[in-house]
Amino acid sequence: MRVPAKITNERYRLNYHVSTPSGWMNDPNGFSYYQGYYHIFYQYYPYSSERGPMHWGHYRSQDLIHWEELPIALTPDSPEDDNGCYSGSAIAKDDRLYLIYTGNHYYDVNDHSHFCQTQNVAYSDDGIHFTKYSGNPVIAVPPTDNSQHFRDPKVWQHGDSYYIIVGSQDKAGLGRAITYKSTDLLHWEYLGPIAVSQERDNEGYTWECPDLFSLNGQGVLLCSPQGIAAKGKKYLNLYQTGYFIGKMDYRQNQFEHGVFQELDHGHDFYAAQTMLTPDNRRIVFGWLDMWHADFPEQADGWCGALTLPRELTLKNNQLYMKPVKELKQLRQEKVIDEKLMTSLKQINVSDPQHLEMLLTAETEDWSGSEINFILKNKQEDLVTLTWNKGNNEVVLTRADKPIDDSRRYGRLRPKSNLKIRVFIDTSSIEFFLNDGELVFSERYYTSEKPQIFVNADQSVKINVTGYTMAK
């Protein structure tokens, strides 16, 4: 019997985020609602904190906040998925929960550059135990004009039909999203590409984890393209997660759309997946890491966490992300409640690592130019967020990254006051600026208790409240 990776140290363990119990975690999968529970699955390798043949780990929750660990839902033990049950999604139909996922098979296990990716189904009648469909794979080959990159089906219902959108690459080496249609989730008809990368450097060579939905009457295509080249202060991560706003034409199977926009501006955000809640909110989870990062927690027997669940809204052709309202339940005690008139101030709090903070700086008539939020230990400024009033630029700086990769950037359209909502959870920090207009998701690592400072180049009035967060 193989034994799960052993946890040797909990120093970096997050308290109120979904993370792997032990072993490796990447993408969120199968985000859905079934028989009174939210379900979140994830790319999981239980036997080591390094990536290995992917399983689907599984949690469920009644409130999006308290998650119960469930048995492994998918194990790579079939010929079509023996080298990984890759990312996919879930949908309830006739009181049964269906998972649709990619089976990954290497023709030669020592050569990961050649593989066969197929789409597969598993189902459950209790939301806990899953059976793989005996007719797998349900899509055995990619379309003829596709490369071998053919993965991450996201399923939804439209009218009487089911659709999946699959991440892919065409024969010319351009990323794209293709769709299929079905009446029973088991037999699929190929419809074609709905959107294609215009150029490798601009829009990528493979689109991973596509997701198509409508919000406020507009279409949104979310995806994680590989291969977009950095341009100035944009697209600085190894791979990007972002979206196109547009309109889905089901008759023509085309998604007319605008430009690609990054969804989160931090270092640690990828492979996001959404679901629609019973009360019609579009909620997104991302992987709170990035491929090939340093992953210090790997030394402790685990690796990987998800972001907080966030509600998506659309304003002025831009997606906003706000932590779900259920998170307020985790507020334990108000530990900060200050009105500051300050240029440099330490925010004193006994547990700065399990905290939600809300800062409102009265910047409308302020004549200064820069406000910094700093999380630091004795040696260094671990994470700094700087807002510049003159050009409305926001700069996020991480001390643990090489200097040329330490900064991430964003822009806040002029508003009366600057609002920063921050969630800190042991080794993660997420910034939501001006009600989710600009978001940075980050991991940070410190062996001693950090301190929080707010600093401005000219005295500014800031209201600060803060709560310790329950597990």
CB of 32 to ligand FRU, least distance (A): 17
Task: Give the C-alpha separation, 417 to 359, whole Å.
Answer: 10
CB of 395 to ligand FRU, least distance (A): 27
CB of 101 to ligand FRU, least distance (A): 8
381 included as an active-site residue: no
CB of 189 to ligand FRU, least distance (A): 23
CB of 40 to ligand FRU, least distance (A): 15
Contact letters for ligand FRU, residues 53-92 (x by CB under 6 A) = -x-------------------------------xx-----
Selection from 25, 75, 18 nearest residue 50 by Cα: 25
How many angstroms separate the Cα of 202 from the Cα of each of 135, 196, 234? 39, 11, 11
What's the N-to-C CA distance of the chain in angstroms? 32
User: CB-based burial of residue 389 (10 Å sphere; 0-12 exposed, 13-18 middle, 19+ buried)?
Assistant: buried
Report the residue number, 223 or 357, with the smaller CB distance to ligand FRU.
223
Side chain identity at residue 127, one-letter code? G
Site for ligand FRU in 121-160 (CB under 6 A): 151-152
Q: Could you please report the per-residue DSSP string of 348-372?
A: --S-TTEEEEEEEE--TT----EEE
CB of 17 to ligand FRU, least distance (A): 18
The verdict on 211 binding ligand FRU (CB under 6 A) reads no
The verdict on 208 binding ligand FRU (CB under 6 A) reads yes
Per-residue DSSP letter, 307: P
465: left (phi over 0), alpha (psi -120 to 50) or beta: beta
Selection from 245, 255, 203, 193 nearest residue 224 by Cα: 203
3-state SS assignment for residue 405: helix
Report the residue number, 207 or 255, with the smaller CB distance to ligand FRU.
207
Give the one residue of 20, 26, 49, 434 binding ligand FRU; rule: CB under 6 A: 26
Selection from 81, 64, 60, 63 nearest residue 129 by Cα: 60
Site for ligand FRU in 271-330 (CB under 6 A): 271
Report the residue number, 151 or 354, with the smaller CB distance to ligand FRU.
151
Task: Give the C-alpha separation, 251 to 264, whole Å.
Answer: 32
How many angstroms separate the Cα of 44 from the Cα of each of 47, 54, 71, 73, 209? 9, 5, 12, 10, 16
Task: Give the C-alpha separation, 310 to 34, whole Å.
Answer: 19
CB of 45 to ligand FRU, least distance (A): 9
CB of 26 to ligand FRU, least distance (A): 5
Give the one residue of 19, 22, 32, 102 binding ligand FRU; rule: CB under 6 A: 102
Report the residue number, 208 or 297, with the smaller CB distance to ligand FRU.
208
| Number of helical H runs and strand E runs in the chain | 1, 32
Report the residue number, 87 or 384, with the smaller CB distance to ligand FRU.
87
Report the residue number, 235 or 270, with the smaller CB distance to ligand FRU.
270
Q: Which residues contact 316 (CB under 8 A, 6 or more apart)?
A: none
Report the residue number, 43 or 372, with the smaller CB distance to ligand FRU.
43
Report the residue number, 43 or 426, with the smaller CB distance to ligand FRU.
43
- Total binding residues for ligand FRU by CB under 6 A? 13
Both tokens of 47, joined, read 């036997």
The catalytic site residues sit at 27
Residue ranges in contact with ligand FRU by CB under 6 A: 26-27, 43, 54, 86-87, 102, 151-152, 208-209, 270-271
